[in-house]
């Protein structure tokens, strides 16, 4: 008797569930395009659209006046070593290539992370001309580096070129922290031990040795050393890696109060990391004001887990520690 009642209950609940499931799917909006291109907010306000009379008091205008204070501006995108340990796959090379493929495409209307020209002798250096907030032309130099030489971590560890590539990617990142206006890191947090550009230190079971990374924090130490200098140009640092808000924000801000930060408050799915990075790049190149910038880096699909702090109210570099 009791078993029959449970069976009837299950059938009723199941029928209701199936009904709700069909109802919900039938009323779902049509699917959007699946690619990594950031969706442009409708008519984003930009620093270029701010009246002369309002520029002195506009946080948006002032943010970009600081950012584009020089005729030539450098932005670095650094892909860390994105292994999938304990599996052997490594993905940053493919992600970087997909991004580069997009950067080199002509721009559709209202798109900005595109239309770049590649340097002939340096394959990781791209440039394009944009208008600064004052309406004058700026040259944007964009450096995009990756960390792995192939898609197989086991193979990479036997490849001499991997040692060079890791050192090169890390050096580009650290030099960018000193000399670029913005640096965007897309890679592993290594539980506080990142940013990381080389094959990971592994445990016996082929998982990354998170205990070691958390205890020694090699990547964070190097980062803090780099931004701790007085002559750095850096105004914006984006860390598109898991839980970067909790793992990195506090120490970075306490080292460099004037630095604006983009971080992730939660685990970050790889396409969301790319979307947020593309959103940041689009916002900075398009001079988008805060609402559009926030929309771009939230990357709606991730449910708005990113955070932007200090960009639209950063203290002037002179007051920086």
- Contact between 6 and other proteins (CB under 8 A)? yes
CB-CB neighbours of 180 under 10 Å: 25
> Shortest gap between Cβ of 115 and other proteins (angstroms)?
17
> Shortest gap between Cβ of 210 and other proteins (angstroms)?
10
The count of chain residues that interact with other proteins, using the rule CB under 8 A, is: 49
Q: Omega into 195 within 30° of 0, i.e. cis?
A: yes
Beta-sheet strand order (sheet of 125-131): 117-118, 125-131, 137-145, 72-79, 182-186, 236-240, 260-264, 306-309
- Contact between 14 and other proteins (CB under 8 A)? yes
- Contact between 100 and other proteins (CB under 8 A)? yes
- Contact between 268 and other proteins (CB under 8 A)? yes
State the burial class of residue 309 (Cβ atoms within 10 Å of its Cβ: 0-12, 13-18, 19+): middle
- Contact between 144 and other proteins (CB under 8 A)? no
Give the one residue of 84, 107, 214, 315 binding other proteins; rule: CB under 8 A: 84
Whether residue 183 contacts residue 177, with contact meaning beta carbons closer than 8 Å, is answered with yes
> Shortest gap between Cβ of 177 and other proteins (angstroms)?
21
Give the one residue of 55, 65, 150, 312 binding other proteins; rule: CB under 8 A: 150
> Shortest gap between Cβ of 84 and other proteins (angstroms)?
8
> Shortest gap between Cβ of 187 and other proteins (angstroms)?
12
- Contact between 151 and other proteins (CB under 8 A)? yes
Instruction: Compute the residue count for the chain.
Output: 321
> Shortest gap between Cβ of 88 and other proteins (angstroms)?
11
Q: Omega into 86 within 30° of 0, i.e. cis?
A: yes
> What would the x/- binding string for other proteins be over residues 105 to 134, using CB under 8 A?
-------------xxxxxxx----------
- Contact between 97 and other proteins (CB under 8 A)? yes
**Which of 206, 221 has the CB closer to other proteins?**
206
d(CA 83, CA 86): 8
- Contact between 269 and other proteins (CB under 8 A)? yes
> What would the x/- binding string for other proteins be over residues 158 to 197, using CB under 8 A?
xxxx--x---------------------------------
**Which of 289, 297 has the CB closer to other proteins?**
297
- Contact between 301 and other proteins (CB under 8 A)? yes
Candidates 60-68, 71-79, 263-271, 278-286; binding stretch for other proteins (CB under 8 A) = 263-271
- Contact between 26 and other proteins (CB under 8 A)? no
Residues in contact with other proteins by CB under 8 A are: 6, 9-10, 13-14, 16-17, 20-21, 24, 31-36, 84, 89, 91, 93-94, 97-98, 100-101, 118-124, 149-152, 155, 158-161, 164, 242, 267-271, 301
């Amino acid at each position: 008797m009791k078993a029959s009642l449970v069976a009837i209950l299950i059938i009723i609940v199941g029928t209701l569930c199936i009904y709700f499931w069909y109802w919900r799917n039938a009323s779902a909006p049509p699917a959007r395009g699946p690619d990594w291109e950031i969706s442009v907010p409708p008519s984003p306000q930009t620093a270029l659209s701010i009246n002369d009379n309002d520029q002195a008091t506009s946080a948006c205008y002032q943010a970009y006046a600081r950012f584009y204070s020089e005729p030539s501006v450098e932005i670095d995108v650094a892909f860390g070593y994105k292994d999938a340990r304990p599996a052997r796959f490594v993905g940053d090379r493919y992600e970087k290539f997909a991004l580069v493929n997009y950067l080199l495409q002509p721009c559709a209307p209202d798109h900005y992370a595109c239309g770049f020209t590649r340097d002939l002798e340096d394959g990781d250096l791209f440039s394009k001309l944009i208008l600064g907030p004052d309406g004058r032309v700026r040259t944007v130099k964009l450096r995009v580096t990756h960390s792995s030489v192939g898609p197989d971590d086991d193979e990479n560890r036997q490849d001499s070129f991997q040692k060079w590539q890791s050192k090169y990617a890390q050096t580009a990142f650290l030099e960018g922290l000193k000399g670029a206006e913005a640096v965007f890191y897309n890679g592993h947090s290594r539980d506080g031990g990142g940013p990381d550009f080389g094959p990971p230190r592994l445990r016996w079971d082929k998982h990354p040795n998170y205990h070691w990374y958390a205890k020694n924090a090699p990547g964070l130490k190097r980062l803090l050393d780099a931004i701790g200098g007085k002559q750095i140009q850096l105004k914006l640092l984006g860390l598109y890696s898991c839980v970067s808000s909790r793992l990195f924000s506090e120490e970075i801000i306490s080292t460099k109060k004037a630095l604006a930060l983009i971080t992730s408050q939660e685990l970050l799915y790889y396409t969301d990391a790319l979307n947020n990075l593309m959103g940041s790049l689009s916002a900075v190149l398009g001079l988008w004001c805060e609402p559009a910038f926030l929309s771009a880096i939230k990357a709606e699909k991730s449910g708005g887990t990113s955070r932007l702090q200090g960009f639209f109210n950063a203290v002037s570099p002179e007051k920086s520690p």
